[in-house]
Structure 1
């Protein structure tokens, strides 16, 4: 995980301002590196290029400096990501260095620009894993940039005018608005061409588009070109027969277990010990833990992979929502009213001060806190040889408001109330500061997880039909509607809010990893028939159901049941902002799409 920055100017070298540099260092506190290069384009324009990388060292045995530089050509790479595989080869050392070596070879081995572009694209298309990058190829005066095909890492851009364009993992909003680089392609910009404002004397002039008039978009799919491209498959739209079977004996359940296990191995093994780790309490990973199906399956399967001496932190976040508190207080007051006389009047008037209001914890009453404790206990029962640590993160409402402006800046350019409510939960959860309980120490003690890697269950709902709207679509138009909705989710995986989530979680020098969004797992899931993933049935009666498990994400529920997590297998889906109660904290009637005021 890193923070990356690049500036392309036709006037001077432009470094990030101090605020933006600090935001980048928050993402990568282990190292900061800078590089500069001047490129003289064939069109007579000179480009001053400034590159900055900050590093969170999670791969290899030591901190590897960035940006990566080729001394013979001055080509450079700013890399923010994890290349789990390149082609069929698993990368065990520093992945950024491996990617850079292949890119330099692709650029230097091909004299003509078209050939070199194809070679560079072959390298980038062969990478499995989350990443964002800026690659300066001075052999051919080209700049490549982009995000992985699923958009799991953040990359933003902005332009002051047509003489300066900037890229960054995170925005400094004091310098103006930024836009998110789309995750639909690799973008290539020729430094041999520049567009000036004089050529765009229109009211709709866009500096970024003007500066990048020489931009080329290369979609992730190879088309007819032969290359080792990583794909996420072709969606299976086959309508199932009405008598299909999906139970614990169905082959897809074991295939899901295999793919998820392989994905987890890449993401949780060989993680360097964090700087603040306690050798008596070794912990390298934490799970963003609501107690729901998706995250608890990850925790349970991580137990089968990690050595038993490693502890696993389960980070559970709950908030003090003032609307919920007021409602609870009102209900308590109503229940505590004195008895009425025969005419229905209160026999003895009482003041508010005299009314005894039962103690109420807004945190422990949160749905995700309740399911979190429940799943924590089930994990302890099923896997007693592992030390599980339940971390209760409970920021008071006052503290939540104190961080509001900071969080709004971090999520930019996302700017809706829903963005903010989700970001609240991710921000405080990734900080990992709260109280911890274990089976041997039930009395909570202050604790902050040292883990720099956080596992997230994001992606399971999209792949296996876990949202309420999937059930709604099926109820309205049957399998056709369900397939349309699932296909829509797959198509927009790269446009979802993963960039926003990356900016929030990384601000605490933590890296989110998404096992359900492993490319091989995604490809298998989208090509799998819907009857092997979901349990929705036409005209189903309760007595006709082949189990008590809900139809949404049924394949994952069957896997949880097989793993011994019987209670978790039956948990209902709950959105993070409602489970943690960050939704509508200030105004009850606010819509999620309302812009932040």
Structure 2
């Protein structure tokens, strides 16, 4: 993983790039930094890369081959191309690209890669500049065009400048890859992108191009490549079938179920083939992402429980619990796993007279495990819902494998620290996204990924900072398995057909709504986000299933949403977490309580815009 940067200028004027951007890029890649300039007849390019060493021998970037081609590669090859143990995948991709003699061969190579990537590639023969993101957009890539100096900039991360036009930076759409003919651009005095779209089953090329044109920087234009070439997706199309005779109306809508009742309801469901198959593909996805990782031990001294190579963004909810349980299968037992649990400080409730006290209104009734923890404690400003379920989840994991050291990292954030780091760092990383939801999730993920907090030892807190370079995150589970409340609303109003449309939309927009932001935020700590639920094989399997095998929203919360995943958790021995209802990170961590409670998630966030 790395921070990549390229600026193309069609003038001879020297380009001065933002030092803030450079610092963000350097933090993404602390192990190696290097710049390579290229001068054409009437254009110039600067390629800059900052590498986080993850695999094989450290390979500085930009990597320049014997033919003069230059590659900036921010990605991982998990499958699709042969990468031998000890080899660096950047070097492998560079060698394979050098052997490509046509655009179709380049597209075939990129189409074969399983894993996240963002890249910029200077193809010296023909003088072309290629760039783009993988099918899901799991790696960030931004662009902007400065018309005054005729400069196009491509970068993993930008910078927010207070008072400037927020649309200056935009995310490169993960709808395909792009090629610039540098000689043609020089002659025309303007930048034009040729689009090579992903072959999205069911989506027309015209709709794909329309989506791209909405994000093309002002002063540039984009056209479909004249050969009609496309990238071939590794993901099978979404199963759109509708059940013939399944109850389309939601039942149990206003009912509250105890944990025992939910367990019994879940136990009555049998989907053994689907559960076993999902465990197999998801376990493989986790294995590919947690094995053969470097540890932060430089002096060859024995490993300690503090030396983990993998961490999990951990709320104790079903998504993160399954990732932790599957990681346990593939990481050697003597290595620890860090569970990163973030909480934002609560205000202590005011004392009230018992006679004046009204019973609390629970939109979502507390689960048995939450109630057990709450009943046995006095008020703590960091006992947010995710902390409570996280501790309950820790006990389940310890019972599953008591030999493993599970570092449950309690990351406690005050409002003062939140405001300080949002201003200094997070507002730049979230940019160009700018909603209240982006602020809440971006801040929560940034502090969680930093991994600085406490772990409990002998009933006392010990300061602890996670050393893990890889962070597993559960994003993609809710989008594919109907985990959000809006999925219930859509099912109630439009039945299975509406639910399927909603799920198709969720996966289609995940690159622009979530993944670029999360990559920028996590990578700021010199760590790499990995998304097992968005592994190509996992998505293909879930896409192949009819929607009623994945979720049954006629069942109550805590069972119906993500039904297949709950059955999977139960099969893995995670009985308590299998029936926890979905709780969004901004509410579970209580960051939303720190800010204006009257805001809507889709509102522009003034805290980001004025940061």
Q: TM-score range by the shorter chain?
A: 0.7 to 0.9
Contact 1:291 1:376 in 2 (8 A): yes
1:155 to 141, 163, 187: 141
Q: Which residue is 1:67 aligned to?
A: 62
For 1:229-248, list aligned pairs within 5 A: 229-242=232-245, 247-248=269-270
Q: Which residue is 2:487 aligned to?
A: 470
2:550 to 533, 554, 558: 533
Contact 1:432 1:448 in 2 (8 A): yes
Provide the C-alpha distance between the structure 2 equivalents of 1:197 and 1:155, rounded to a whole number of angstroms.
Answer: 21
1:99 to 72, 93, 98: 93
Q: Which residue is 2:413 aligned to?
A: 395
* Deviation sequence 1:414-463 (CA, Å, 0-9, x none): 1111111111110110110000136xx44321100111110101101111
Provide the C-alpha distance between the structure 1 equivalents of 2:27 and 2:16, rounded to a whole number of angstroms.
Answer: 17
Q: Which residue is 2:10 aligned to?
A: 10
Provide the C-alpha distance between the structure 2 equivalents of 1:409 and 1:81, rounded to a whole number of angstroms.
Answer: 22
Contact 1:150 1:493 in 2 (8 A): yes
| C-alpha spacing 1:207/1:163, structure 2 compared with 1 (3 Å) | farther
Q: Which residue is 1:226 aligned to?
A: none
Provide the C-alpha distance between the structure 2 equivalents of 1:471 and 1:218, rounded to a whole number of angstroms.
Answer: 43
Residue 369 of structure 1: CA displacement? Answer: 0.5
Provide the C-alpha distance between the structure 2 equivalents of 1:221 and 1:232, rounded to a whole number of angstroms.
Answer: 14
Provide the C-alpha distance between the structure 1 equivalents of 2:60 and 2:5, rounded to a whole number of angstroms.
Answer: 15
Residue 337 of structure 1: CA displacement? Answer: 8.4
For 1:193-208, list aligned pairs within 5 A: 193-194=184-185, 195-196=188-189, 208=217
Q: Which residue is 1:480 aligned to?
A: 497
Residue 91 of structure 1: CA displacement? Answer: 5.7
2:283 to 261, 264, 276: 261
Q: Which residue is 1:342 aligned to?
A: none
Provide the C-alpha distance between the structure 1 equivalents of 2:92 and 2:233, rounded to a whole number of angstroms.
Answer: 17
Residue 127, structure 1, aligned to residue 147, structure 2: no
Q: Which is greater in Rg?
A: 1
Residue 531 of structure 1: CA displacement? Answer: 2.5
Q: Which residue is 1:593 aligned to?
A: 602
Q: Which residue is 1:168 aligned to?
A: 155
Residue 506 of structure 1: CA displacement? Answer: 0.7
| C-alpha spacing 1:214/1:260, structure 2 compared with 1 (3 Å) | closer
| C-alpha spacing 1:231/1:494, structure 2 compared with 1 (3 Å) | farther
Secondary structure (helix, strand or coil) at the match of 1:565 reads coil
Provide the C-alpha distance between the structure 1 equivalents of 2:229 and 2:401, rounded to a whole number of angstroms.
Answer: 41
User: Structure 2: where are the runs of 5+ without partners?
Assistant: 193-214, 248-265, 358-376, 607-611
Provide the C-alpha distance between the structure 2 equivalents of 1:22 and 1:471, rounded to a whole number of angstroms.
Answer: 43
Residue 54, structure 1, aligned to residue 57, structure 2: no
1:361 to 370, 373, 380: 380
Q: Which residue is 1:551 aligned to?
A: 560
Secondary structure (helix, strand or coil) at the match of 2:386 reads helix
Residue 434, structure 1, aligned to residue 453, structure 2: yes
Q: Which residue is 1:345 aligned to?
A: none
| C-alpha spacing 1:186/1:369, structure 2 compared with 1 (3 Å) | same
Contact 1:187 1:218 in 2 (8 A): no
2:308 to 280, 283, 290: 283
Q: Which residue is 2:178 aligned to?
A: 187
Provide the C-alpha distance between the structure 2 equivalents of 1:81 and 1:553, rounded to a whole number of angstroms.
Answer: 29
Residue 90 of structure 1: CA displacement? Answer: 5.6
Provide the C-alpha distance between the structure 2 equivalents of 1:126 and 1:147, rounded to a whole number of angstroms.
Answer: 14
Contact 2:453 2:463 in 1 (8 A): yes
Residue 217 of structure 1: CA displacement? Answer: 9.7
TM-score, structure 2 length as denominator? 0.82
* Deviation sequence 1:348-377 (CA, Å, 0-9, x none): xxxxxxxxxx9632211x110110011011
Provide the C-alpha distance between the structure 2 equivalents of 1:218 and 1:39, rounded to a whole number of angstroms.
Answer: 26
Contact 2:49 2:62 in 1 (8 A): yes
Q: Which residue is 1:411 aligned to?
A: 430
Contact 2:312 2:473 in 1 (8 A): yes
Residue 19 of structure 1: CA displacement? Answer: 2.3
User: Structure 1: where are the runs of 5+ without partners?
Assistant: 41-45, 111-115, 200-205, 223-228, 339-357, 543-547
Query: How big is the alpha-carbon RMSD for the aligned residues of Structure 1 and Structure 2?
Result: 2.9
